[in-house]
Amino acid sequence: RFPKRYKKYFMFYYIFKLKFLLKGKKINRLKTLPKMTDPRAIAILDILATTAPAAYWFDTFLQSMMTVKMVLLSIKYGNDPLSPSVGYAGIAGLLCSIGDFDTAHKIGEITIELQNKIGAKERKARTLFFVNSWVRHWKEHVNTTLEPLKRAVILAIENGDKDYAAHSAMIYSHHLLDSDNKLEYVLKEHNEFISLLTNLDHVSEMQLIQLFHQVATNLSDPKEGKHKLIGSSYDVEKMMPVHSKA
């Protein structure tokens, strides 16, 4: 059960409870947990995993508590195919938000390892997206996230998961700006993913990639002007009203 008044102190109580359970070498227990077989636990995990994304937009504290509960369920009853992609990846991102990058990075590594072990190909794109957009860049160079995010786009498309294909493409395009790739390559990749998201009919993420593309264009072409996001790819004055309504 969740507390009727799910204030911040409840969330931090659950986080510190979880950190105690995973303290030191105990964190490796996530890799050796048995398979979840309890039908009630499986049903609860499925409900939490299905509703957590919607909860994120309604109440981030509630969504955070749901993530912690999913991990606690997995520790108590064993690993389910949903455990890595929504439980462990989610808690790694949550730990990053409170500055515990070391624990988060370790959980992120375990998440990828477990996802490969469990299989569940339909969940792999989401796992790659979460770990490489929320976690990995805090401890590793952003370059290390590029190939996994690009792979997440491909896997998501193969599984018909257009939403996470779009999310992964957008974060990949953003991370390209912080990478050590040449601007010519960044611009080329941006154009490819703008075209992809146009075909997938994901307008919001496509517009963000156009914004990133304009930044790269400004840096590579002095004629575009370096200080204003107004150019051939993106016009901030025209787009701000659009973003405000989104």
Residues 6+ apart with CB under 8 A from 222: none
Q: What's this model's pTM, rounded to 2 decimal places? A: 0.89
Query: pLDDT digit of tens for each residue in the chain (246 aa)?
Result: 656 565 566 677 777 788 787 877 688 989 999 999 999 999 999 999 999 888 877 878 888 888 989 999 999 999 999 999 889 999 999 899 889 999 999 999 999 999 998 877 888 999 999 999 999 999 999 999 999 999 999 999 999 999 999 999 999 999 999 999 999 999 999 999 999 999 999 999 999 999 999 999 988 877 766 678 888 889 888 998 888 876
Please report where in the chains the tokens 């304009």 appear, as a residue: 214
If phi > 0 it is left, if psi is from -120 to 50 it is alpha, else beta; for residue 116 that is alpha
3 state DSSP class of 95:
helix
Q: In whole angstroms, what is the distance from residue 207 CA to residue 185 CA? A: 19
Q: Which helix (H) or strand (E) holds 216?
A: helix 203-220
